[in-house]
Amino acid sequence: MAYFPSYRVIITLAILLVSLSSSSAKKQELSSHFYKHSCPELFSTVKCAVRNAIKNETRMGASLLRLHFHDCFVNGCDASILLDDVTGSITGEKTAGPNNNSARGFDTIDTIKSAVEKVCPATVSCADILAIVARDSVVQLGGPTWEVKLGRRDSLNASLAAANNGSIPAPTSSLANLTARFNQLGLSNRDLVALSGAHTIGQARCTSFRNRIYNDTNRIYNDTNINSIFAAQRQANCPSASGLGDNNLAPLDRITPRRFYNHYFNNLVSKNGLLHSDQELFNGG
């Protein structure tokens, strides 16, 4: 059984690790005062833009946090996930399996970047904006705040191959797969549990949890560690047949889907984890 740290440690460690676990960032001198003189209005500008975005759509907070996570887990926190395809030059990561028709919030990041450009043109990297946005999204949804260190540089290239090769943990991952991937990034098993706490907000598509709620031995795995009542509730909006309701959504945390809280871990104890990879944390593999 996995060890679950206290709520505040979980959330603070979770996002802080995502923000700093970048190989590219480790080569740079990061500082919370990096833009103190060149862009003093940076934090207030981003905070206001994030607040407006989440006010318009609560789900956007989770989407922005996830965008930062997916960026960091592919060659570091370098904003490469934001790059569009350029014929003969760049093949972006937006169409990678974990991102295609799933990663969202790109237009919101564009809006926030434009707001920052108005107060300090050509100064702040998109990678740093993603890091600040992740923090502010958590705060806006009721989670704790933390110091964001800045000074990342944006990548001029993306890696579709890296985004597709398992760099981003899949919802069907076993505990062994999860720990191996996190260990590759220098993160411990406890870090894995902490980072997974970010699933207290957000939603998942039917395709991400269909195998789990129907417990079909002919599918990827035979998932028996699921509460039968919970499974039936999820089946109501996620048909068993592939192609039907594939994009229907369900909350990752059924208790507080729009607030940053620790019910996510309580759900795992009750075998109410939506994703196989989440439940693996409690089952111990």
138 annotated to a ligand binding site:
no
Pairing type for strands 203-205 and 249-251 reads antiparallel
| Domain count for the chain | 2
Q: Give the model's pLDDT for residue 262.
A: 78
Same domain, 196 and 269: yes
Same domain, 36 and 160: yes
253 annotated to a ligand binding site:
yes
Same domain, 136 and 179: no
Contacts 24+ apart (CB under 8 A), 219-227: 220/172, 221/172, 221/174, 221/276, 223/276, 223/279, 225/271, 225/279, 225/283, 226/271, 226/272, 226/273, 226/279, 227/270, 227/271, 227/272
Q: Active site includes 70?
A: yes
Banded pLDDT at 223 (limits 50, 70, 90): low
Instruction: Work out the average pLDDT over 118-143.
Output: 95
Position 5 pLDDT exceeds 50: no
- Residues in the chain, total: 285
Banded pLDDT at 3 (limits 50, 70, 90): very low
Instruction: Work out the average pLDDT over 121-149.
Output: 93
Q: Which is catalytic among the residues 68, 70, 263, 276?
A: 70
Is residue 268 situated within a structural domain?
yes
Largest CA distance in the chain: 60
Same domain, 145 and 229: no
CATH of the domain at 39: 1.10.520.10
Same domain, 203 and 127: no
Of 145, 164, 183, the domain-final residue: 164
Is residue 71 situated within a structural domain?
yes
Same domain, 190 and 153: no
Q: Give the model's pLDDT for residue 75.
A: 87
200 annotated to a ligand binding site:
yes
What is the span of the domain harbouring residue 189? 175-283
Is residue 25 situated within a structural domain?
no
Is residue 62 situated within a structural domain?
yes
CB atoms near residue 103 (< 10 Å): 21
Same domain, 41 and 154: yes
Residue in 247, 250, 95, 66 with CA at minimum distance from that of residue 169: 66
